[in-house]
Each structure stands twice: as C-alpha cells, then as structure tokens.
Amino acid sequence: MLNVTKIYFSPSNTTKKVVDQIASNFDDNKETYDLLNFNSSKELSSEDIAIVGMPVFAGRLPKSARDRLAKIKGNNTPAIAVVNYGNAHVTDALLELVDLLKENNFNVVAAASTVSHHSIFSGVAVGRPDESDIEKINEFSKKTKEKIESNESLKSEIPGNRPYVDYKQLPFEISCDETLCAFCYDCVSICPEKAIPDDDPIDTDLDLCSRCTACISICPEDARMFTGDAFETKKVDFESANSQRKEPEFYL
C-alpha cells in the first residue's frame, strides 16, 4: 500500500487545509511533516506519495520553508506540488516549488495554485476556499490519483520565470498588546525565524521576522497583530486592487 505523506508550511493553517483536502481523496496511510516545526533531513521512498503545500510570499516560496523543504529528499517519489495564495499573485512560486521538488528527486505528477483567505489582509478572499474551490480541488485530486496509478508524470508547462523574482521583505510592524497577552509562549515556540525572544513574548525582532503570521494565528488571546501607518495604508490599496475573484489553477 502506498503511503501518503503530507508536507506543508502553513503559518495561518490555510495551506494545511488545502493539503488535507487533497489527501482526503486518497485511501492510503498518511504521515505529516509540518515545516513550521520540522527542520530535519528526511528521505521518502518510491512507495510514498508526497503532497507538498507552500504559501506564496510576494511571488516566492518563504525562505525558511524552502530551506526546510530542501532537506526532504525523494527517491523517484510521486509528488503533488501546491502553492496557496490570497487572491493576489502566484508569480514564480509554483515554478520554484516544482523545480525544487525535481531537484530533490521527486517525480512531480501534478501541480496547482489554490486560493485561500488572505493571511495578512483580512478583506481579501474571505471564505476561501469555498464550496466551488473544494469541488475543483477534489476533481483535481482524483485525476492526479489516476495519473499516479498509471505511472505518469507532469506534462503541463508551469507558468513563471527563471531567475525567480527577487525576495521582498514587507515593511509592516507586528505588535503585541501586553494587556491581552497571557504569556503562554505559543508564539515563541511556533516562530520559524526565532524572531520572538524566549523571555519576552511581547517583543518581535522585525529584522528576523518574515511576517508569516504564525504568531498571530496561534495567539489564543488575539494579542498579536499588524500595526503601523505602512500596514494601514497598504491594506486599503491592496484590498481594493485584489477584490476580483481569482480561480484555482491546475496542471496535469
């Protein structure tokens, strides 16, 4: 029996939801590697099926996620490559993910770009993935399963450019409301950049922070948030510019 291995980097749990949805269409055993906390070498076998999900950060894979994924190698392992974005732009992220998986000896069978509620700008893609998205994801998953069973590889050309677009660091500030913070230290534990001091969860080193939103998403008290003039100004413009619905795209 083939073993389904879920691999994802999902700071706000949206990419995880998409990977879980794809995996639900397979009857096989399932293992999970959450790249927010898994940062070790691993080699999968040809008897595995890897479902690899990554968010899009300004048209690229997140640096820390890419570095962690690079430690996971395949052995002609069938793989489904998925990037998940907030209804703005995929740019080179899906091409980058497919390239990385192929470099790591995965046999990429299919790829997709899916849309979820934006993790930074809450007014964009509200309620996504919705019922229509899920229906399309399930249809894609079933077609992908058929391709794996017939030992086929990816035939479609993946959009994007090489070299990939340069990384961009968002200028937004992240603050913590000390009156709300319960000092549970969940944000300290989950931060992939180690940008929150072990002894002071109120603070954030913005030079290290990738603005991935993991600390905001996990906070049980809603004490952490984006703040500042740069964020508030960008929020209005971004939500207006990305209000038109984009659809998931699939490559077989």
| The predicted structure's pLDDT at residue 2 | 76
**What tokens does 66 get?**
């890419």
| The predicted structure's pLDDT at residue 200 | 93
Name the E strands within the chain. 3-8, 29-34, 42-43, 48-55, 72-73, 77-85, 106-115, 173-176, 224-227, 249-251
Whole-angstrom distance, CA of residue 169 vs CA of residue 178: 26
| The predicted structure's pLDDT at residue 29 | 86
| The predicted structure's pLDDT at residue 1 | 60
| The predicted structure's pLDDT at residue 63 | 96
Task: Map out the domains of the chain as residue ranges.
Answer: 3-163, 173-227
Helix (H, G, I), strand (E, B) or coil at 212: coil
Q: Does domain 3-163 have CATH number 3.30.70.20?
A: no
Contact between 21 and 137 under an 8 Å Cβ cutoff? The reply is: yes
Mean pLDDT by 10 residues, the chain (252 residues): 91 97 93 96 95 97 97 97 97 98 98 97 97 98 95 95 94 95 96 95 95 97 95 95 97 98
Answering whether pTM is above 0.85, one says: yes
Report, at the CATH architecture level, how domain 173-227 is classified.
2-Layer Sandwich (3.30)
| The predicted structure's pLDDT at residue 186 | 96
